[in-house]
Amino acid sequence: MNTKTLIAEARAAGRPVLTETAGKALLSEFGIAVPRSLVIQDAGEAAAACAKLRPPLVLKVVSPDIVHKSDAGGVKTGLQGPAEVEAAVRAMMRAPKIQAARVDGFLLEEMAPAGQEMVIGGAHDPQFGPMVMVGLGGIFVEILADVAFRLCPITRRDAEAMLDELKGAPLLEGARGRKPVSREAVVEALLKVGGEGGLLMTHGRDIAEADINPLIVSPTGAMAVDARFVLTNDKSHVGRETIEEGSTMASLSSHVSPFSRETGESIVERYRPLFQPKTVAVVGASTKGGALPNVFIRRIREFGYQGEIYPIHPNAAEIDGLKAYRSLGETPDPVDYAYIAIAAAQVPPLLKEARGRVRFAQVISSGFGEVDEGRELQDELVAAARGGGARLIGPNCLGIYTPRGRVTFTEIGPEETGSVGIVSQSGGLGTDIIRRGLSRGLKFSGLITVGNCADVTPNELLEFYGADPQTRVIGMYIETARDGRRLFEILRAAGARKPVVILKGGRTSQGRAAAVSHTGSLAGDDRAWVALSKQTGCVLAETLDEFIDTLLVFQTLAPQPGHPARRVALFGNGGGASVLATDCYARLGLDVLPFGKETVALLAALKLPPGTSITNPVDCPVGTLQQEDGRVAEKILDIIYGSGKPDALVMHLNLSAFAGRTRPEVLDNLVQAALRVQARYPGQAHFVLVLRSDGDPALEERKRAFRATAVALGVPVYDEMSNAGRALAALAAHERFRSGGGR
C-alpha cells in the first residue's frame, strides 16, 4: 500500500497517528530499512508466523491507546521460537495497561543487528515548514536533549554537521571499547527522511511530527525498529508547494519576480524608484505645517533631495511653498515614491486613484493588520495598491533612509552612501539602528522600515540588497518571517557571498507574546532560526548592540574565506582585561595562544620595562606604552605582524589609564602607530581596535575622534574586548562557512 493511501486511511479512521506498521511501510517506501514483520491476533497464530520469520524475534503490542509500548509491558525482545512467542503474547494480554487499552493485535518482527540506538525525528515549524532532527536514541532523548535540528531539505553536509553537533557523537566511533558503527548509514537515513525528495519534503503537509526511535545503527547499516507519525490536522501548513519559483542572489542579473515578468526588469532596476526616486509625492501634509509629512518634506530638502516633490491635498493650492495636487493621479509626472501619512481608512481610496502612476507607496499610517479591527482594511489596502499598480511598503512603518536618493525619514542619517543595507520590521528600531550605528561608524546603503509588510516583504528587500552593487553587508530586523521557507531558499542559494546579519525579535515564547501584539502575527521557533543560521551562514545577533558590532566588522574587514580566522593576538594595556578576553575568546572558538620562540625573542630584544608581558597576550603597562611618546607600539606591532602572524590582532587601549598621567599626544601616537602598521600588512590579519573608557566625557570625546579616524581607514573600533571578540567570531564563522567547513 502506498503512503498516500496509508495517510488517507488513517485520516478517514479519525486516527491522528499512523500505526507502527503503517509508519514502517512509509519509511520503507523511502528506502529506510525496517525489520521483516507480521501482525498476529493471538497466541494461536504464533507458530505459523514464526515459520516465516528468522529468530530472534520481538513481540510488540499494537494499540492506538498506547504511546510507549515498553512502559505498558508491550515489548518483549529476544524471542527464540513459537513457544516463547506464545508465552509472550499471553503475558502481554495480562498486563494491566494492555488490558485497559484497545488492542489491534501483536507485531512480531525480526530483531535488528545490534548497535547504537539513535533517534531521527521530524517536526513542522509554522514559518519554515518541515525540520529534521537527529540525536542519541533511547528513553533519555528528552532528558539529555542532545539533538540537532535542521530545516528541510538538508544536504549531505548538513547531515554530517548535525552528527558533529551531538555531544554523544563519539559513541558512533565506538567509545569505551565498543565497536564503531556506520556513521554513513545515519547520514543516509537522515537524507532519506529530511533531504531533497525525502519523506518530510514529500509528505511535510501531512506530517506534524515524526519519531524514529530507535534507529539501530550497526557497523554495517541502520534499521528503523520503531516509527511514530503524528498527522497534521490543519492543511494550511507551509510546505514545499507554497514555495514560489523566485530567483535568488545566485542569479541576480536574471531576476524575474511575479511583478516584473512582463518587463524582465532586474530587481535593482525595479527598486531604483524607491531608493533613488525622481519624483516624491507626500500625502498628509497640512497647510499649517507641523504634521509628520510636512517634517518629511523639510527633511528631504535639507538632505539635498533634487527631484520633484508633489504635496497631495484635497483643496490646498500650495503646501510649504510647493504646488499641491488633488490626487496621486493628477501629478505632472508619475510618482516614483509616495509617502503617505493620513487616517488609515482614507488610504485605500487614495491608492485606487493612482491609476498606475505610482511605483512605490510607503504607508506610514497605522490601524491596519497590527490590530484585529484593521485586518480587513489591510486587505483592502493591498488590493487598492495592486489595483492602482503600486507596490506597497508598510503600512505601520516610519519610512526610508536612502542616502543615494537623498530621501530620509529621520534627521540624523549621514549623507554619505555606505555599504550596509538594512531592512527593519520596526520603525523605532530602524531609527535606533541609524543613530547607534552612526556613532559606531556604520555607513548605510539604505535602511527601510517595512512595518506590517503587507506587500513588499523583508525577503524581497533581502533579494534587492543581495543584488545591489552598493550593498556589501545586509542587516535584517525581523519579528515575523511570514515566508520563512522563502527566506531559507534565498539565503541558501546566496551561499553567504554577502554577509547577512539577522536580529530576530520574538525568539523566545515570551518575546513571541510581545511580538504578537506588535506586528500582528506569530514569530518563528528559535530552533528553526538556529538551524537557518547553521545552514545558510547568516549570523544571528542577540541584541541591537551585537547586531551593530557584527555589521561593523563586515563593513570594515574583508572576509578571508580561504583562511578562516582562528589565532588571535592581543596587545594593549590592562593585564586583567587581557586575561578575561583570553577566556572569552576561547569560549567563542578563537585561540589566544602564546607566540613561538622567535617572536618572543624579537619582542625581548626590544628590552621593554619590567612588568611587560611579551608572550600572547602582549600586555604593556602604561609606562611601557609611553616610551618614545607611544611610538614603541609601532615596533611591537611590526613584530607581531611580521613574526607572530596571527589571523587577527586586537589592540586594546584603556584610555582611562592614560588620563592625567600622560602627555596627550601619546594616545594619538599609539593609535596612529597602530593604523600605520596595519596599513603596511594589507589583508594579512584582521585588525581590530578596542578603546576602553570609563565614561568620562573628555575621554569619550577623544574616543569618538579616534573611532572616526580608524573606521574611515577600515579599522573597526569596539568599546570592549568581548564585543570585539563576538564580532570576530561572527566573521570567522562566516569565513568557515564560505570555505565549506561548516560552522
Q: Which stretch binds ligand ADP (CB under 6 A): 65-73, 378-386, 521-529, 688-696?
A: 65-73
**Residues from 222 through 251 that contact ligand ADP (CB under 6 A):** 225-226
> Among all residues, whose Cβ is closest to Mg ion?
226
Question: Is residue 75 part of the contact set for ligand ADP (CB under 6 A)?
Answer: yes
Nearest approach, Cβ of residue 226 and Mg ion (Å): 3
Site for ligand ADP in 344-383 (CB under 6 A): none
User: Closest approach of Cβ 74 to ligand ADP, in Å?
Assistant: 7
Of 77 and 346, nearer to ligand ADP (C-beta) is 77
**211 near ligand ADP, rule: CB under 6 A:** no
Q: Which is nearer to ligand ADP, 70 or 684 (CB)?
A: 70
> By the 8 A CB rule, do 673 and 634 touch?
yes
Are 684 and 648 within 8 A, CB to CB?
no
Q: Which is nearer to Mg ion, 71 or 665 (CB)?
A: 71
Helix locations, 215-326, DSSP H: 267-275, 292-302
Q: Which of residues 585-604 bind Mg ion (CB under 5 A)?
A: none
CA dihedral 134, 137, 140, 143 (to 10 degrees): 0
- Name which of 58 and 187 has its Cβ closer to Mg ion: 58
Per CB under 6 A, the segment of 66-74, 313-321, 642-650, 664-672 that binds ligand ADP is 66-74
Work out whether 213 is an interface residue with Mg ion (CB under 5 A): yes
Q: Is residue 70 at the binding interface for ligand ADP, with CB under 6 A as the rule?
A: yes
Task: Please state the closest distance from residue 71 (CB atom) to ligand ADP, in A.
Answer: 6
Considering only CA atoms, give the Rg of the chain. 32
Other beta carbons less than 10 A from residue 157's beta carbon? 13
Binding partner at 58 among ligand ADP, Mg ion, none, C-beta below 5 to 8 Å by kind: ligand ADP
Q: How far apart are the first and last CA of the chain?
A: 42
Number of chain positions touching ligand ADP (CB under 6 A): 16
Nearer to ligand ADP, 213 or 425 (CB): 213
Residues 6+ apart with CB under 8 A from 154: 132, 162, 190, 191, 194, 195, 535
Shortest spacing between CB 187 and Mg ion, in angstroms: 21
What contacts 447, CB < 8 A, 6 or more positions away? Answer: 400, 401, 402, 413, 421, 422, 423, 424, 430, 433, 434
Does residue number 257 form part of the binding site for ligand ADP (CB under 6 A)?
A: no
Q: Which does 109 bind (CB under 5 to 8 A by kind): ligand ADP, Mg ion, none?
A: ligand ADP
- 35 binds ligand ADP per the rule CB under 6 A: yes
Note whether 529 and 540 are within 8 A (CB): yes
Cell numbers at 426, concatenated: 520596526
Among 26, 27, 40, 112, which residue sits at the site for ligand ADP (rule: CB under 6 A)? Answer: 112
Binding segment (CB under 6 A) for ligand ADP, from list 63-71, 268-276, 354-362, 716-724: 63-71
Task: Please name which of 569, 566, 595 lies closest in space to residue 581, comparing C-alpha atoms.
Answer: 569
The one of ligand ADP, Mg ion, none whose footprint includes residue 203, by CB under 5 to 8 A per kind, is none
Grid cell digits, residue 455: 506587500
- Cα–Cα distance measured from residue 655 to residue 699, given in angstroms and rounded to the nearest whole number: 7
58 binds ligand ADP (CB under 6 A): yes
Applying CB under 6 A, the span of 104-112, 430-438, 568-576, 722-730 interacting with ligand ADP comes to 104-112
Q: If you write DSSP's letter for every residue of 190-242 in order, what string do you get?
A: HHHHHBTTSHHHHHTTTEEEEEEEEEEE-SS-EEE---EEEEPS-TT---GGG
DSSP SS3 for 681: coil
CB of 132 to ligand ADP, least distance (A): 19
- Provide the minimum distance between the beta carbon of 20 and ligand ADP in the complex, in angstroms, as a whole number: 7
d(C-alpha 112, C-alpha 54), whole Å: 11
Whole-number Cα distances in Å, 618 to 578, 605, 693, 725? 8, 14, 20, 17
- Interface mask toward Mg ion for 613-652; x: CB under 5 A: ----------------------------------------
519/484 Cα distance (integer angstroms): 16
Contact 32, 192 (CB under 8 A): yes
From Mg ion, ligand ADP, none, interface partner of 112 (C-beta below 5 to 8 A by class): ligand ADP
Q: Which does 548 bind (CB under 5 to 8 A by kind): ligand ADP, Mg ion, none?
A: none
Facing residues of 422 across strands? 447, 475
CA–CA distance, 341 with 323 (Å, rounded to integer): 19
Answer yes or no whether residue 274 interacts with ligand ADP by CB under 6 A. no
Closest to Mg ion by CB, 226 vs 460, is 226
* Residue 111 sits in the site that holds ligand ADP (CB under 6 A): yes
Least Å distance, CB 206 to ligand ADP, is 22
Q: Which listed range, 226-234, 239-247, 461-469, 533-541, lies at the site for Mg ion (CB under 5 A)? A: 226-234
In angstroms, rounded to a whole number, what is the distance separating the alpha carbons of residues 11 and 205? 13
**Residue closer to ligand ADP (CB basis): 20 or 546:** 20
Q: Determine the angle formed by the axes of helices 458-467 and 267-275, rounding to 10 degrees.
A: 100
Stretch that binds Mg ion, among 223-231, 281-289, 517-525, 552-560 (CB under 5 A): 223-231
Which of residues 71 and 196 has its CB atom nearest to ligand ADP in the complex? 71
Write the DSSP symbol of residue 264: T
Whether the CA torsion 134, 135, 138, 143 is positive or negative: it is negative
Q: Which of 45, 226, 336, 463 binds Mg ion (CB under 5 A)?
A: 226
- d(CA 694, CA 283) in angstroms, rounded, equals 47
Nearer to Mg ion, 25 or 476 (CB): 25
Q: Which does 68 bind (CB under 5 to 8 A by kind): ligand ADP, Mg ion, none?
A: ligand ADP
The three three-digit cell numbers of residue 565, written as one number: 580566522
Please tell me whether residue 463 binds Mg ion under the rule CB under 5 A. Answer: no
Rounded Cα distance, 509 and 178, in Å:
41
Q: Can you tell me the distance from the alpha carbon of 300 to that of 306, in angstroms, rounded to the nearest whole number?
A: 9
Are the CB atoms for 16 and 231 separated by under 8 Å?
yes
Stretch that binds ligand ADP, among 70-78, 407-415, 609-617, 731-739 (CB under 6 A): 70-78
d(CA 503, CA 518): 16
User: Given the complex with Mg ion, which of 213 and 331 has the nearer CB atom?
Assistant: 213
Q: 215 touches which of ligand ADP, Mg ion, none (CB within 5 to 8 A by kind)?
A: none
Rule CB under 6 A: say whether 214 interacts with ligand ADP: yes
User: Which CB, 75 or 447, lies closer to Mg ion?
Assistant: 75
Which residue in 575, 550, 589, 569 sits closest to 644, CA to CA?
569
Window contacting ligand ADP (CB under 6 A); options: 107-115, 304-312, 431-439, 527-535: 107-115
- Candidates 45, 86, 109, 489; binder of ligand ADP (CB under 6 A) is 109
365 binds Mg ion (CB under 5 A): no
Nearer to ligand ADP, 111 or 653 (CB): 111
- In angstroms, rounded to a whole number, what is the distance separating the alpha carbons of residues 345 and 294? 20
Distance CA 95, CA 220 (A): 36
In the bound complex, what is the minimum distance in angstroms from residue 523's beta carbon to Mg ion? Answer: 32
**Distance of alpha carbon 347 from alpha carbon 363, whole angstroms:** 8
Which of 109, 165 has the CB closer to ligand ADP? 109
> Looking at 83-168, which runs of residues are DSSP E strands?
105-110, 116-125, 129-136, 147-151
- 60 near ligand ADP (CB under 6 A): yes
Q: Under the rule (CB under 5 A), what is the footprint of Mg ion?
A: 213, 226
Q: Under the rule (CB under 6 A), what is the footprint of ligand ADP?
A: 35, 58, 60, 68-70, 75, 77, 109, 111-112, 117, 214, 216, 225-226
